[in-house]
Amino acid sequence: MARTHPFKQVDVFTAKPYFGNALAVVLDGKDLSDAQMQRFAMWTNLAETTFLLPPTAEAAAAGADYQVRIFTTAYEMPFAGHPTLGSCHAWLEHGGVPKDPARIVQQCKVGLVPIQRQGSRLAFAAPALQRSAIAADLLPALLSALGLQAGQLVASQHLVNGPKFFGLLLDSAHSVLNLAPDLAAVKAVLAQGGCSGVGVAAVETAEPRSGLILRSNREARAFGGSAAAAAVGEQPSVEVRMFVSDLVVAEDPITGSFNASLAQWLIADGHAPTVYVAAQGTCIGREGRVYIEQDGAGQVWVGGDSVTCIDGSVLL
């Protein structure tokens, strides 16, 4: 028999309702089958829908506060960024109390993900990243599908932190914002490379080889923690776009998991400072803001605002 479940629809990576990335959250999904979850996620027609459950006994013993299952319209994901922040926001707003007041621990398919409060924002610890060069036979096809010239490419990587992405660093925000990809060709290259999306980004703070990036890294570490973030401010210095294999969505509004892997790559290779703000969704009428900070231990944190737009119940 169907029953009502508490439900929220949350806008993530924005403090301005309807300008971020929407997420459906079913707050008590423990009695739902995988098929029921997938059916509801298909029906919401959002990029992701999540279902919150109690953590497994093993995860609870390791500190997990709740478990999240993350579904696209077609399949379950091991991890995703905006569902992580949006689900945590919904869980806390619904009365969730973490075991440790200083942080929340989420269980998902990729493992345990720590989440910390940064003032009014939440930030998740970027999961471990695996990265490698993009196969030589795929890169030219990828550039062609995106309408890019080789001279516009600064660097590229194959990035895996649960989801699998192609990451491209371009020469300017203008190059990122003026892309006009052939989406069918993009989908074909993604399928050939086994990736769920291709993300493009540009760093506008300074030329990567000018020394200013390295100096800003030192200054951010000297400030430390939230003081470093305050020094950077709210203005974005990185522009991001993400094109996905699901042509129903085509361009993702704001992609937390890609921004996490992107930050780990760009900071490690000296292309970006240890604290910055990324903008995403500009070309599709969104104003997503992703707050990146690498702490003194080398952990990258991916933060953003969330706002509840719908609060009620669903029959499942």
pLDDT tens column, 256-266: 999 999 999 99
What Å distances lie between residue 208 and 126, 171, 216, CA to CA?
23, 10, 11
CA dihedral 277, 221, 171, 266 (to 10 degrees): -90
User: Which residues of the chain does CATH 3.10.310.10 include?
Assistant: 4-126+305-315, 130-296
Categorize the per-residue pLDDT at 274 as very low, low, confident or very high, splitting at 50, 70 and 90.
very high
Domain 4-126+305-315 class, CATH top level: alpha beta
pLDDT tens readout for residues 38-88: 999 999 999 999 999 999 999 999 999 999 999 999 999 999 999 999 999
Nearest CA to 205 out of 224, 167, 233, 230 is that of 233
- pTM for the model stands at 0.90
Whether residue 211 is predicted with pLDDT greater than 70 in this model: the reply is no
Provide the 10 A C-beta neighbour count for residue 28: 18
Instruction: Say yes or no: domain 130-296 is CATH 3.10.310.10.
Output: yes
